Chain A
Amino acid sequence: MQFDQLLQYLLSGLSTGAIYALIGIGFSIIYNATGIINFAQGEFVMLGGMLTLLFLETCKLPLWAAIPCAISVATASGILFERLAIRPLRQPTPINLVIITIGGSILIRGLSMLLWGKDTHAIPPFSGEEPIAVGGATILPQHLWILGITLLIIAANKFFFYYTVSGKAMRACAYNRRAAGLVGIDVRRMVLFSFIISSAMGSVAGIIVAPLTMTAYDVGVMLGLKGFCAAIIGGMSSGGATVVGGLVLGVLESLGAGLISSGYKDAIAFIILLLILFIRPQGLFGKAQSERV
């Protein structure tokens, strides 16, 4: 095994890992505010990519305009989802919530198939396709976009949760929903907020990854599950631990695909998922409780 090749796997693993991290944080934010694992999380990722395509090709918008439009529509559908599926539920038992979010995810996927068909589509990269040499490996400009945007979002996220009133209120909900309600925090609003933030983040992840991997109506399933795996490695934290979880998963996958077999690549995430759930359900870093936001 040559060093260059290893470096190559590492670099591409880090950029997919960043995507997983973004999606994973989306899972954690909703989980911490509501106790729900949103099985439709991956669909917002898919919507990000597909909506960008819609605005680019059908509305003929330039990329810089199409992206914010796509994020807004995806976020709006996140709000709609919370309003129509989660809020009116009369018996919010875990099983009912699992079933209803699965139902929602299938519905969104089906409607997207109706709208855009089954083909895979490409989105142009944000800035050229000229590979950049890093050591003996090369990366695409899009990889840099992914890492940069992810970093930015994570920083913004941190700022929101630690320095704004709404963010602090959401953290309070994460620690103790009942107590938060008793001191006058509107818990239902926080639930809605969590859906807004995580659908927006999910759609961004879907947009920045689309130029690399293509997009289609059904990409949300796998991306969503991988994101969940990242969140589980990170102990459902919506901060650094899940980012590390995403990066670890991305790199392991990339190494596994390169060194073992690309066919089993997807299995790696699920084997890790099961192992963590069986052995360390509190996440790899174990201090989940203190960082649950």
Chain B
Amino acid sequence: MNRDLIKFLAFATLILATPQVLSGSYLMNVLLFVGIHTMLAIGLNLLLGYAGQISLGHAGFFGLGAYLSGILTATYGWNPWLAMPLAASVVGGLAFLIGFPILKLKGHYLAMATLGMGIIMYIIFNETIGLTGGPSGLSGIPAISIGSLAFDSDQKNFYLIWSFTLGMTLLTLNLTNSRIGRALRAVHDSEVAAQVLGINARLLKVQIFALSAVISSIAGTLYAHTMTFISPTSFGFNFSVELLTMVVIGGLGSIYGSFLGAALLTLLPEFLRGAQDYDIIIYGALLMVMVKYMPGGLVRGVPDLFRKLLKKRGARHA
């Protein structure tokens, strides 16, 4: 068995054992959000950290996934297990189509264009009142169930969501360690050299854009069925920025970093309950501090810090 797999199994065991150690509905609720955010952060990280393409519109794909399966199940009585793949294919297809023109843009322009795309989706969630319920939201979304087992408590949903998140983690770990992951990093480092070696950079970027949209959509479906109620405010520009913060804090191009970033940003507001609403200031400050002092994110920055400290100490002893 290789090292990567052992690392992953340790991670999975750790996660799945938490409910044995910690309990309480509130805590489970927070931890299942860590799961959803991890999935979203991994999706965005594939695009931003590996392919080097920014998106400020991923909350839109998350919302689209949530609304599509919310509407299909609550309004049209579909089974969530059918709604999920349908929503994911629609969102993936849409992202694939948008991807061709949008990924022609680079850097700041790409950021603005994806931002605009996200806001258009947000406006659509608000304005198509007949379908989405508009600003007052869509309620009555059924819980997911397998046979007679309904995922209707936070503890059950914890397992549901984390099985998806862990599955997704394993798949993306595999992907990033494969020829496609290498090709992505190659495009990131030097697009022209990658092309000369036969990599169709444009198609690859579009594919990854679509893949990360699909991951966001699946997270959206899980979110909708866990909450049973969704409203547009969860899918706005602020949430796209929050996702970006998670990826940057955790570490660009690191799957476990995405988990770290997602966990930190989900737990932080819970610790700062007194300072509610002001978490936004902390996001802003964190983004700036991280980019300036730890551009590699926590996964690389913290070990580096330790190494430096140890070196200093070693020097003092010597």
**Is the C-beta of A132 less than 8 angstroms from some C-beta in chain B?**
no
Q: Give complex CA distance A273, B111 in Å.
A: 12
**Cβ of A270 and Cβ of B277 under 8 Å apart?**
no
Asked if B127 and A221 sit within 8 Å, CB to CB, the answer is no
Q: Are A100 and B292 in contact (CB under 8 A)?
A: yes
Residues on A with beta carbons closer than 8 Å to the beta carbon of B150: none
Contact of B112 among A264, A267, A271, A273 (CB under 8 A): A273
**Which residues from chain B contact A263 at a C-beta distance below 8 Å?**
123, 126-127
In the bound complex, CA of A141 to CA of B76 (Å):
53
B278–A103 CB distance below 8 A: no
CA distance A273 to B115 in the complex (A): 10
In the complex the two chains form, what is the Cα distance from A88 to B120 in whole Å?
34
Q: Given A113-B278, A263-B127, is A95 in contact with B284 using a C-beta cutoff of 8 Å?
A: no
Complex: chain B residue closest to A89, CB-CB: B292
Among B8-16, B37-45, B101-109, B171-179, which stretch is in contact with chain A? B101-109
Task: Choose one: A39, A99, A225, A261; the contact of B119 (CB below 8 Å).
Answer: A225
| A281 adjacent to B105 (CB under 8 Å) | yes
- Asked if B204 lies at the interface with its beta carbon under 8 angstroms from chain A, I say no
Q: A89-B291, A100-B287, A103-B287 are in contact. List 5 more A-B contacts (CB 8 A).
A: A107-B284, A107-B288, A109-B280, A232-B112, A274-B117
B292's partner among A90, A221, A271, A277 (CB-CB below 8 A) is A90
Output the least CB separation between B7 and chain A (Å): 27
Asked if A228 is an interface residue, CB under 8 A from chain B, the answer is: yes
- Given A90-B292, A94-B106, residue A113 in contact with residue B119 (CB < 8 A): no
Q: How far is the CA of A37 from the CA of B109 in the complex (A)?
A: 8
Please state if A113 and B120 are interface contacts (CB–CB under 8 Å).
Answer: no
Q: Is A98 an interface residue (CB 8 A)?
A: yes
From DSSP, what is the main secondary structure of chain A's interface residues? helix
Kindly supply a per-residue 1/0 record for chain A positions 127-164, scoring 1 wherever the CB is within 8 Å of any chain B CB and 0 otherwise: 00000000000000000000000000000000000000
**B286 proximal to A (CB < 8 A):** yes
Closest to B123 in A: A267
| Alpha-carbon distance A151/B90, docked complex (angstroms) | 47
Which chain B residues in 278-298 approach chain A with CB under 8 Å? 278, 280-288, 291-292, 295
List B258-292 residues whose CB lies under 8 Å from chain A.
277-278, 280-288, 291-292
B54 in contact (CB, < 8 A): yes
Asked if A97 lies at the interface with its beta carbon under 8 angstroms from chain B, I say yes
Within 8 A of A (CB), among B112-138: 112-113, 115-117, 119-120, 123-124, 126-127
- Does B237 count as interface, using CB distance less than 8 angstroms? yes
Tell me the A99-120 residues at the B interface (CB within 8 Å): 99-100, 102-111, 113-114, 118
- Is B244 engaged at the interface, CB distance under 8 Å to the other chain? yes
**A222: nearest chain-B partner, CB-CB:** B119
Tell me if B's interface is mostly helix, strand, loop or mixed: helix
What is the 8 Å Cβ interface bit string for chain A, positions 68-93, against chain B (1 contact, 0 not)? Answer: 00000000000000000100111100
List of A residues within 8 angstroms of B109 by Cβ: 37, 277, 281
- Of B237, B244, B277, B291, the residue contacting A221 (CB under 8 A) is B237
A residues in contact with B241, CB < 8 Å: 102, 106
Query: Which residue from B52, B108, B119, B278 sits with its C-beta under 8 Å from A37?
Result: B108
Distance (whole angstroms) from the CB of B268 to the closest CB of chain A: 14
CA A40 to CA B284, docked complex, whole Å? 11
13 contacts between A and B (CB under 8 A): A37-B108, A37-B111, A39-B111, A85-B288, A91-B295, A100-B292, A102-B244, A107-B285, A110-B280, A110-B281, A221-B237, A271-B120, A281-B109
B84 at the interface (CB under 8 A from A): no
Known: A102-B287, A111-B281, A270-B116. A278 touches B244 (CB 8 A): no
Is there a chain B Cβ closer than 8 Å to A36's Cβ?
yes
Contacts A105-B284, A107-B285 known; A36 to B108 CB distance under 8 Å?
A: yes
A100-B288 Cα distance, complex, nearest whole Å = 5
CB-CB < 8 A to A228: which residues of B? 112
Set of chain A residues within 8 Å of B286, measured between Cβ atoms = 103
1/0 contact trace for A217-241 toward B, CB 8 Å? 0000100010011001000000000
B248 at the interface (CB under 8 A from A): yes
Q: Is the CB of A270 within 8 A of B108?
A: no
- Asked if residues A94 and B281 are in contact (CB atoms below 8 Å), the reply is no
The answer on a CB contact under 8 Å between A98 and B127 is no
Residues of A within 8 A of B244 (CB): 99, 102
Given A100-B291, A225-B116, A277-B105, are A114 and B284 neighbors across the interface (CB < 8 Å)?
Answer: no
Min CB distance, B250 to chain A, in Å? 13
In the assembled complex, the Cα of A39 lies from the Cα of B115 at a distance in Å of: 11
Query: What string of 1s and 0s marks CB contacts (under 8 Å) between B232-270 and chain A?
Result: 000001000100100010000000000000000000000
